Structure 1
Amino acid sequence: MRTVSVIGFDGALASAITGIIDLFRLAGVTWARINDETPVPQFTTRLLTKDGAPCRCINGLTIQPDGAWNDLLPGDESDLVVIPTIGGPIDVVLAGNAELIEWLSTFRASDAGQVRVASNCTGAFMLAEAGLLDGRQATTHWGFSHQFRQRFPGVNLQPDKLVTVDGDIACAGGGMAWWDLGIYLVERYAGAQVARELAKAFVIDAGRTSQAPYSALQARRYHSDAAILKLQDWLDGHHSEPVTLERLASLSGLTERSLIRRFKAATGDTPTGYLQLLRIEVARQHLEKTRLPIDEITRLVGYEDVSSFTRLFRKHTGLSPGAYRSRFVR
């Protein structure tokens, strides 16, 4: 059987540790029990911490490990190493786990064709801090994507994606995305049939591919450029109007070239791209909170053609406006 080593540390999210351990331990087991068949376990699991000491999670729970990660030689004994979510302040947790990050940095890229290291949510910060994600595609919680990009500009971050795989490293997006990561990895290691049965047994929607429907535009205001913040405030009240780059430059007192550069540095997007996201965000709020027809919402956010707006909405959220309303209506 494959061995999965989940790495525990103080400030981790407890559910991201225990949940993914449950998934791997019950692959080939729960479905068999439901159908009165003989269970065939597919994985062994272990929780490893520094020196084998208990780890205290962000919810106050203390978890007893099975061993120490510093006794594990990278790639020699464990088929898969999983870094769970950082539940505490990211900078504090990274600073307090310098030895773990140094240990992770000893992992070298493999051509074995299997995922060897995986992270959930903000656990990607730990992999990136160790240098494992340099030049690679990765994802993390959408709410921390701007912070991630600022700290690790050499990583090809894809915050809309729920799971990314680049070579032998996999990353999952925000919150409970360890469900999706676990099902994906079970499929990679144990096959599609075992993964489908596990998803059914745990009542998991295995078809999710994007965390875009859950993201909020507010995260793009976490910067200190006063001129760009002023423009963002202005766009909040004028997003339904025709907006040109020339007008934005005039309002900001910047040249168009400087505006694009500073807007991109502050928000991670161009002014035009940000305006699209703002209009989509306002449309999402209307879909969640009102019964307005979609064609009326289209006009309210500054578009005339419903079909073009629908394509744009689907591009940014992964859902049509109607499907989004069905899922998130209050």
Structure 2
Amino acid sequence: MQKVSIIGFDGALASAITGVIDLFRLAGVTWARIHGEQPVPHFTTRLLTRNGDPCRCINGITLLSDGSWDELDTDNADLVIVPTIGAPIDQVLSSNNDLIAWLGQFNNQNNSSAGQVRVASNCTGAFLLAEAGLLNGKEATTHWGFSNGFRQRYPLVNLHPDKLVTVDGDIACAGGGMAWWDLGIHLIERHADAQVARELAKAFVIDAGRNSQAPYSALQSKRYHSDPIILDLQDWLETHYSETITLAFLATLSGLTSRSLMRRFKLATGDTPTGYLQAIRIEAARAHLENSRVPVEEVTRLVGYEDVSSFSRLFRKHTGLSPGAYRSRFGR
């Protein structure tokens, strides 16, 4: 059986530890029990902490460990999983220099036989992998709400916060806090087989078809800059988004040439004025779909569009769902 090592640290999200352990320990077991068959477990799990000390999670639960991460032979480790950081991220990073250094050992190894994942993180656990340098030049994801801070701190990482699970080489990352089940099912499929993963997903009543965080994310403010002209323009756009707006008009409003506006807006926000306006309109449309029964045609008009088909395509591009499907999932 393959050995899965979950890394525990104070301030971790308990469910991202215990849930992952449940998934791996019950792969090949629960489905067999449901059908009266002989269980065939595929994995053993260990919770490893600093010096083998108990892990004090953010919800107040203390988990007993199975040993220290220093005891693990990293050259022969099958799979190491770093769970969600539940406490303030800076606090956890500053108090876990030894864990970060230990994770850094995987940076110098190339044991990803047959493209197998050896190290994975859930949600904000990606900060620990990035701090150890494991994600430099690699595709990764983390919780959408912390993506701006992640990008600023780790500019060498190819971050895709819209994705629920990423795999690049021997490293995998999952997005939001409860994405550990998506990560777990994905890794079980890779390390066992697709049938075992499908049976486990059915047994646990898990929707194994999710692949994006976009339906859950909110508009990132993109205000982590100090350009006063662009900040004023952002304020104006967030109030007048339903109006007909052109780049030439925005340039006149800002007192800049169109070329200067494009350059400064992109530098300040990482987006174009048109892209930012679209994001504001999509966020406004989400609010209408979540909180009202206004027809999609009317929502389209309220957020500044005329053509329902074009709006629907744009909405799906941003959220991964059609307006109707979004309302069905999130509407009150």
TM-score category of the 2 structures, normalised to the smaller one: over 0.9
1:135-150 pair list within 5 angstroms: 135-150=137-152
Mapped partners of 1:153, 1:24: distance in 2:
33
Moved more, 259-268 or 100-109: 259-268
Describe the shift of the 1:206–1:131 C-alpha distance in structure 2 as closer, same or farther (beyond 3 A).
same
| More displaced 10-residue stretch of structure 1: 257-266 or 289-298 | 257-266
Change (3 A) 1:66 1:254: farther
Q: Structure 1 stretch 147-156 or stretch 234-243: which is displaced more?
A: 234-243
In the TM superposition, residue 300 of structure 1 has moved relative to its aligned partner by 1.2
**Which SS does the other structure have where 2:156 is aligned?**
coil
- Report what 2:30 is aligned to: 30
* Secondary structure of residue in 2 paired with 1:295: helix
- Could you list the runs of 5+ residues in structure 1 that have no partner in the other structure? none
- What residue number does 1:99 align with? 98
Equivalent residue in structure 2 for 1:126, among 125, 128, 150: 128
Q: Which runs of 5+ in 2 are unaligned?
A: none
Question: What residue is the counterpart of 2:59 in the other structure?
Answer: 59
How far the C-alpha of 1:110 sits from its partner, in A, is 3.5
Aligned residue in 1 for 2:162:
160
Superposed, 1:208-247 pairs within 5 Å as: 208-247=210-249
Residue 213 of structure 1: how far off its partner (Å):
0.3
Q: Corresponding residue for 1:11?
A: 11
Shift of 1:15: 0.8
TM-score under structure 2 length normalisation: 0.95
Query: What's the RMSD between the two structures over aligned residues?
Result: 1.5
Deviations 1:170-203 (A, max 9, x none): 0000110001000000111111111111101111
- TM superposition shift of 1:268: 3.0
* Preserved contact between residue 112 and residue 118 of structure 2 (Cα < 8 Å): no
> CA shift at 1:267, angstroms?
3.1
Query: What is the CA distance between 1:23 and its match in structure 2?
Result: 0.6
1:220 Cα deviation (Å)? 3.0
Task: Specify the SS of the correspondent of 2:173.
Answer: strand
Worse-matched range after superposition: 115-124 or 63-72: 63-72
TM-aligned CA distance change 1:292 to 1:173, over 3 Å = same
For 1:85 and 1:63, locate their aligned partners in 2 and report how far apart those are by CA, in whole Å. Answer: 15
CA distance in 2, matches of 1:258, 1:153: 24
Structure 2 CA distance, aligned partners of 1:109 and 1:260?
42
Counterpart amino acid of residue 56 in structure 1:
R
Distance 1:66 1:246 in 2: 63
Distance in 2 separating the partners of 1:20 and 1:223? 38
CA distance 1:310–1:106, shift in 2 (3 Å) = same
Q: Which moved more, 1:206-215 or 1:266-275?
A: 266-275
User: Cα–Cα, structure 1 residues 310 and 153, in superposed 2: closer, same or farther, change >3 Å?
Assistant: same
1:81 has 2:75 as partner: no
Aligned partner of 2:308 in structure 1 is 306
Distance 2:274 2:140 in 1: 25
Partner of 1:186: 188
Paired with 2:308 and 2:144, the residues of 1 have a C-alpha distance of 27
Verify the 8 A CA contact 1:146 1:267 in the aligned structure 2: no
1:289 and 1:99, CA in 2 relative to 1: closer, same or farther beyond 3 A? same
Contact conserved, 1:13 with 1:58, CA < 8 A, in 2?
yes
Letter in structure 2 aligned against 1:217? L
Q: 1:109 to 1:279 in 2, by over 3 A?
A: farther
Aligned partners of 1:125, 1:84: CA distance in 2, in Å?
10
Q: Which residue of 2 aligns with 1:48?
A: 48
Alignment of 1:270-285 (within 5 A): 270-285=272-287
- The 3 A distance-change label for structure 1 pair 73 and 256 is farther
Name the amino acid aligned to 1:95: S
SS of 2:288's equivalent in the other structure is helix
In structure 2, the CA distance between the partners of 1:223 and 1:198, relative to structure 1 (3 Å rule), is farther
**Cα drift, residue 71 of structure 1:** 1.9
Deviation digits for residues 113-161 of structure 1 (CA, Å, limit 9, x no counterpart): 1000000000111111111111110000000011111111111111100
Q: Secondary structure at the match of 1:11?
A: coil
Shift of residue 63, structure 1, vs aligned partner:
1.2
Aligned residues: 329
Say if 1:264 and 1:90 are closer, same or farther in 2 by CA, change over 3 A. Answer: farther
SS at match of 1:327: helix
Distance 1:228 1:188 in 2: 46
Alpha-carbon separation, structure 1, partners of 2:49 and 2:209: 33
Change in Cα spacing, 1:227 to 1:59, as seen in structure 2 (3 Å) is farther
Partners of 1:72 and 1:257 lie apart in 2 by 55
CA positional deviation for 1:278: 0.9
Which residue number in structure 2 is paired with residue 21 of structure 1? 21
- Classify 1:90/1:235 alpha carbon distance in 2 versus 1 (closer, same or farther; 3 Å): same
How far does the alpha carbon of each residue in 1:204-249 deviate from its partner, in whole angstroms, 9 at most, with x for none? 0000000100000144345554433322221111111122223323
